[in-house]
Structure 1
């Protein structure tokens, strides 16, 4: 107040001394300003608790959602099974992975689990079923069609024999079924025989490394058939997904061997012949005829991968040795055919149960056969007779030398021999003598002769092998 009075007096003095100049001083008390600030703080504080509660609620919900997401992520990752391509193969994994290296000093590395994996996947370009992926690419392809009339024990015998006698050691094996339902019916047989083969390799390898000795007569299975020299560059099979292999990183050494076996897979006719192209010309198209409409697509997709191809009828033939012995040194256009026994000696006929040849000649034959089947069907006035057979068509095709030699360039080789029939080989013998006589031949014609019980008796007589097969 004193300052105010002094200032007022000064102002009045100045006004007296300087007429015409007046000053107006406005004073704001400090107490009012502080009160206004306090009121503002009180108002903000009164409205702030609602905002804090809302923010805390959002934060809590976000934390809960985050925890739930991580829980689901961890649960998903814990139940995820990695694919084969991401698995580093170990000596104790199943033989579907990669070839295992064995040496003269370390043969114990050849080992397979007693309960092998039985998963399957697509064989080629999202078609077919791959039951076993081979150790490397093979140059021989064996296509076996399974007719609807084929029974399970005949199919099992065919598959068991090609496993035991080394046919799968150098060949990829493809089974052709008439429909997906037929494929599903026989798929468990393929898996069981694949598992039995791996168990057989396990047991014989353990016996090979142990001090226990057994005579050769106790088992006809020879593990050495599946040995081959390790190559510096081994191409992977074309079937299924590619597997990252460390085989090329293994150091080479003298006497180093790898386990060698081919792939086992299947297709059904609806995949390779989706339209059933022969159905418009025949009332009923059996697989023995429809297979010729399936071969062009299959062989066309793998034409650069195989050197030799053999076509086999599972119901009527058994393969126990290399079926390519007679065409291995022939030209790629060669096709080898067996004669078919016929009561009429004046009329020779080709046996369609087993046909082998170079890949080029077999492709050309498979491209010509559907056309010839249609031509033969149209020559018959009554389609209901269904008198067309691929054996007769093959015989006519071979007889027409001008057509197949000039237009198709197929080098047919007709054997003077016929495939031995099981009935003539069995005769009146019994027991192991029958099995021995049968095993001396590479190919046997069944002709509806039941050989399952015969071979089962021979295989199960071995103490070593009887522990592998369930039906022993």
Structure 2
């Protein structure tokens, strides 16, 4: 079941489950993957995609980004072995992906390897270290479209919650920490899971954002509403499973109650759930009010190059509703560096 795009070098303790909504574009997918790969997160995590349906263009984009990432690690790894600076101003640090010594645990995805892993840039002390990349269609995880009996149309934002019981249930003994993330809405620049690694298995962290008014404008201060954002949920595997199961139950309950009334919305249900202490009594819920900015709020004097993304201390940001061509700005910055410009074919 699923498509293995890349087999990692070892078994990971964490997993990122990234879901795609129906209107996700190819450029949005590529930017999400590219920034994620350049962060340190995949040095400690497997990456699982959940798609409404698989397309050849998406498959090719993932494989292309995998290839570019491997070349990036190789090129910067060779530079590192030559005692040159390990990190470029482009924001890529290969030391995250170098593991000292040998690993005994095999990745859970794909066939077991035979013999020792070897790469051109591997030395006696270090070896490349990164997670597996696997893709699933919703039909594989929710074959009967279990919410279709309650809703006339089941958008991916709701159906994804019906996929998690099977997916997270199958890997519950393999991963200690889980992140659920919306590919279209979020960009991961660092390792947000660092916030929850020291917490209990029942811990779940959600982020609160300011509700925008009409036309994307912020409401007056006194009328602004803080809402938990369903596009990013992370924590111990046990806690995330409990939240996802509770969310699925709430979707079913709400759809039955609102069959002929107001439509069921993911954000509304998610915030009702987060505010229900009784339902989540077995979850150690952490509601973070720390700023999670949109791309547009970070744009300053470097907006033409996109370097603002690589100089921020944020581990995640929201794309938001800005008309900025983020992909072009980021690539203009990345392509200004010799190694990066050789690695990425679209430079």
Give TM-score, length-normalised by structure 2.
Answer: 0.89
Gaps of 5+ in 2: 118-122, 212-218
Counterparts in 2 of 1:113-192, with a 5 A limit?
Answer: 127-180=1-54, 182=55, 184-192=56-64
Contact 1:147 1:288 in 2 (8 A): yes
Determine which structure has the larger strand proportion and give its number.
2
Deviation of 1:200 after TM superposition, in Å, equals: 1.5
Q: SS in structure 1 opposite 2:63? A: helix
Report which structure shows greater RCO (CA 8 Å, sep ≥6).
Answer: 2
Contact 1:141 1:308 in 2 (8 A): yes
- Return closer, same or farther for 1:214/1:298 CA change in 2, 3 Å cut-off: closer
Which residue number corresponds to residue 225 of structure 1?
96
Which residue number corresponds to residue 415 of structure 1?
288
In structure 2, distance between residues paired with 1:209 and 1:399: 51
In structure 1, distance between residues paired with 2:76 and 2:346: 19
Q: SS in structure 2 opposite 1:318? A: strand
Contact 1:421 1:446 in 2 (8 A): yes
Determine which structure has the larger helix proportion and give its number.
1
Which residue number corresponds to residue 131 of structure 2?
262
Runs of 4 or more above 6 Å deviation: none
Match of 1:453 among 325, 328, 337: 328
Deviation of 1:214 after TM superposition, in Å, equals: 7.0
Contact 1:218 1:464 in 2 (8 A): no
Contact 1:219 1:464 in 2 (8 A): no
- Return closer, same or farther for 1:261/1:375 CA change in 2, 3 Å cut-off: same
Deviation of 1:223 after TM superposition, in Å, equals: 1.4
Gaps of 5+ in 1: 1-126, 248-252
Which residue number corresponds to residue 468 of structure 1?
343
Match of 2:316 among 439, 443, 449: 443
Which residue number corresponds to residue 368 of structure 1?
246
- Return closer, same or farther for 1:324/1:265 CA change in 2, 3 Å cut-off: same
- Asked if 1:353 is matched to 2:225, the reply is no
Which residue number corresponds to residue 397 of structure 1?
273
Deviation of 1:224 after TM superposition, in Å, equals: 0.9
Deviation of 1:206 after TM superposition, in Å, equals: 3.4
- Asked if 1:194 is matched to 2:70, the reply is no
Contact 1:438 1:444 in 2 (8 A): no
Deviation of 1:209 after TM superposition, in Å, equals: 4.4
| Superposed CA offset, 1:65-115 (max 9, x none) | xxxxxxxxxxxxxxxxxxxxxxxxxxxxxxxxxxxxxxxxxxxxxxxxxxx
Counterparts in 2 of 1:40-119, with a 5 A limit?
Answer: none
- Asked if 1:334 is matched to 2:210, the reply is no
In structure 1, distance between residues paired with 2:157 and 2:195: 24
How many residue pairs get aligned? The number is: 331
Q: SS in structure 2 opposite 1:304? A: coil
Deviation of 1:347 after TM superposition, in Å, equals: 4.4
Deviation of 1:379 after TM superposition, in Å, equals: 2.1
In structure 2, distance between residues paired with 1:439 and 1:137: 30
Which residue number corresponds to residue 20 of structure 1?
none
Contact 1:340 1:351 in 2 (8 A): yes
Q: SS in structure 1 opposite 2:289? A: strand
Contact 1:350 1:392 in 2 (8 A): no
- Return closer, same or farther for 1:398/1:316 CA change in 2, 3 Å cut-off: same
Q: SS in structure 1 opposite 2:140? A: helix
In structure 2, distance between residues paired with 1:147 and 1:431: 28
- Kindly name which structure, 1 or 2, has the bigger radius of gyration based on alpha carbons: 1
Q: SS in structure 2 opposite 1:467? A: helix
In structure 1, distance between residues paired with 2:223 and 2:310: 27
In structure 1, distance between residues paired with 2:344 and 2:95: 21
Contact 1:218 1:463 in 2 (8 A): no
Contact 1:218 1:461 in 2 (8 A): no
Deviation of 1:429 after TM superposition, in Å, equals: 4.4
Which residue number corresponds to residue 426 of structure 1?
299
Which residue number corresponds to residue 165 of structure 2?
296
